[in-house]
Chains A and B, each alone.
Chain A
């Protein structure tokens, strides 16, 4: 059975063309041309057809917090948001720090409608004390290691992990990516939002920008020392962006991501005391938002990630300081980027698909050009249609979106996962 996406504008690394896309039964693109016919046809008139998005930073909560999200529901939300691959963070219960849990996640991922790429913790149970069995995990195909949720505090252990990872490159066939959640806890502890004028006024203890920046600075120095590849997660401050820019100019093997909320929201949102705006790293100032956007525009930041972090209503029905940090992102990321980033569509696709696919080591099947022979992981988006954000109607089991009620432009119409239309007309098919 062949599938044809008809009447859309194909956008990829090589430019734009109005053409139909014909996909074979085995999930690869057969032909790009006008007036193609297939057994199944999807209407893409008025839409762009491009490679599916790749999220470098999703919390799918399974195993351990299946009341907040499962791999199945998270993937459904991802597919509805135009994603075809999600990099799953390892802060599950139990932690993804050993083969058994990685296998479980991968197995559940295979039954879901997004490809789920498991990461593994750098240290056992993400405690920052003992290195995880990285060699064994690399042999099982894990390419990204992170203690996300925590930064790795101990500089000596960080150095050892970086050194050790460089010895595993040949076993993976590409450099191991160490992804750091940059936060010096001695500076941030007891703080629940960005430290500044708003935190002072609201009486919510703050975390200074320096808590993030000191770790970015430390890790850049350690990259220089060890040659390991460091990926900076959710950069949120102007200082961090500037340091990464300098490190790249120097030619160091560093990459970085920014989340949609860090370039669309500021600490002023915390004035409602609604913990839906509580996130780590915290929402920063206007200046920081500007710097993150500039970093996205000039290529300092390689990817837009979601840091999709579902939490049940019950767990968010607490005071700002007691509630857990995190917000939903998968279904809003593209529209928010379209509205807020100031980037053109090619830049956006590059940041949401093409470049993160390379960082995740999945460029052989995601973020590819839309051309014959490529794996058919695609999304079809109507850039002009608008929709209204509603946490309750999202695919996620949780509803903690910070954009509730916002009218946004850009609707994902169809998503194709390895040739299968998993989202048709904005409805998940399974």
Chain B
């Protein structure tokens, strides 16, 4: 979603047109439940865990994960948002959006951060997020949760929690929302 919105913002243009629904809303719920359990299992609970949603598409994923973690654990871990636009290596290919707020109000020193994003593709967004997070403190560990891993990595980055592995072509675009995951294209 982050990518889609930015892709559509002027002067970049284009409209996302879906070709196939990959997951429906129930599939997404099930994936979130599973990933939440994996997070609790891997970290032996939620102590020191902080969830950070990447602006803008990862924020919904982080919120859904938080909700699921609350059901499992009684309370959800601290939740933050991070806009990595200013840390990207391809800066300038997309506008910085004023509404994409960075809000990290907890101390990250010694924390276990779970970065949540919608789609993992080249890995460049995650690289930028790792850089940005290190400016906020020294976390003990950083893990990565994504709703869709569509392949085509350009950096040595792998997810810890995956909703769905989805083989794609490079010219396709994946759109994630709470209603579902669609595969399609940006039509100019």
Verify whether A and B have any Cβ pair under 8 Å.
Answer: no
Residues on A lying within 8 angstroms of B by beta carbon are none
